[in-house]
Each structure stands twice: as C-alpha cells, then as structure tokens.
Amino acid sequence: MSVPEKAIRLNKYISETGVCSRREADKWIEAGRVTLNGAPATLGHKVARGDEVRVDGNLVGAKQKAIYIALNKPVGITCTTEAHVQDNIVRFVGHSERIFPVGRLDKDSEGLILLTNDGDIVNEILRSENEHEKEYVVSVNRPITDLSLKMLASGVKIMGMTTKPCKVERVDAETFRLVLTQGLNRQIRRMCSALGYRVRRLQRVRIINIHVGALRAGEWRYLSDAEVAGLLAG
C-alpha cells in the first residue's frame, strides 16, 4: 500500500489494507502483535512513507480491492472471525479473501448481515452516534397487544437504561416490524422479555439502505456500487 506524504495513524493504515477494522487493529497493537520498522508498535504511532508494518511477522502491504457482501445468515451461525469457534460466519461464507462481519447478529437470530474487508466502513456503520437504521421482523410466543407495541416504540427499560424510541408496526397477531437506531446486546429479545414476551423468530431484513430481499437463508451476494455508495453516504 502506498503511504501518503503526510503520516497516518497506524490503526488506519492497517485497516486500509483490508486485514481488519481500526478497532481490531488497536487490539492487535495492544497485544504486541504489530511491529513498526522492526520495533513493537504502540497506540498512536503514525506510519510514513518507507515505514514497514508487520502483523505477527507478516508484512502488511498492498491495499486489497474492497469487498462488500450481504449475507442472509441462518440460525446457528456465530458472527465471529475466531477460527476455533464452530460454525463461525467467515468459514460459513468461505470467501477466498480475508473478510469480517460488520457488527453482529446473535447465533439464534437470522437475516441480513454485511461482511467486508474495508475497516473504515465498519467504523462508520457501527459508530453509535450515526444512528443508522436496522429493521427487524419479530415473532413472539403469544399475541402482542397494541399497548405493548406502543411501549416498545417509546422505549423499554433494560439493563438499567431506557431504549431509544423506535418505529414499530404490527404485521399480524404475533409478529411486528421494528426499526432500531441503536444496538444494545440482545436488545430486541431483552425488550420483549421486559414486557412478558418470548421471541420465537428474529430476522433482520434491512441495514440502512441494504435489504435482504430475495436472498434465501445461507445465500450471499456482493453489494452493487449504488448500495455501497448509499452506505458510505448514510
């Protein structure tokens, strides 16, 4: 990868080569896995033209072509890059290039998740203050009342905090659509549980401008140029 005349932060340099996100690069640096010109790197180091960066002894070099994938994740697949985890998402997709998931979708949930080798877009989508929309279709174990739907929309207290207001729309007696702009751990399941419901099926159908569409469970496709532009603009 060609380093610009002006030095850039080490984590940005590593992420731009496509090996991981900036956040992951920081973890690698802290763990002592990264060297800069043969010496252990530290957080905040900058990379200038002619510098040599290695991760686990392997030279980090030419920037790869950006890859953006939409996967309809089936239930049972874990959103991790850790090779020792059975049924991890990277092995499931089986792409020839090194990619990683953008955020996560619980093992017992299904639907749309994005994978990429572009660390910058990962940071952009996951940054909570950007409040990007994610849409879900949720089925619960018994008919859900109009009052419960209103409570979900206005905010539910979970984990010592009240969730942000969100859009909720009934689909049928036991199913509703919900659009979140935050991503707390197992948020939807916790919200439903707080109101006395158990989630039977949880499917993500949209992330910002990307829809799961006709993708069947387990299928994936590359994003179009227009879809990538929409993500970057979002």
Catalytic residue of the set 26, 106, 172, 225: 106
Nearest-angstrom CA–CA distance, 214 and 92: 19
Q: Are 191 and 156 in contact (CB under 8 A)?
A: yes
Nearest-angstrom CA–CA distance, 30 and 11: 11
Name the amino acid, one letter, at 24. Answer: E
Nearest-angstrom CA–CA distance, 26 and 185: 22
Q: Where are the alpha helices (DSSP H) in the chain?
A: 10-16, 22-30, 89-93, 119-126, 146-154, 187-194, 225-233
Concerning whether 106 is annotated as a catalytic residue, the answer is: yes
- Please give the backbone phi and psi of residue 79, each rounded to the nearest 5 degrees, phi first: -85, 80
Q: Measured at the alpha carbon of residue 179, what is the angle toward residues 174 and 182, in degrees to the nearest 5?
A: 125
Nearest-angstrom CA–CA distance, 17 and 63: 4
The residues assigned a catalytic role are 106
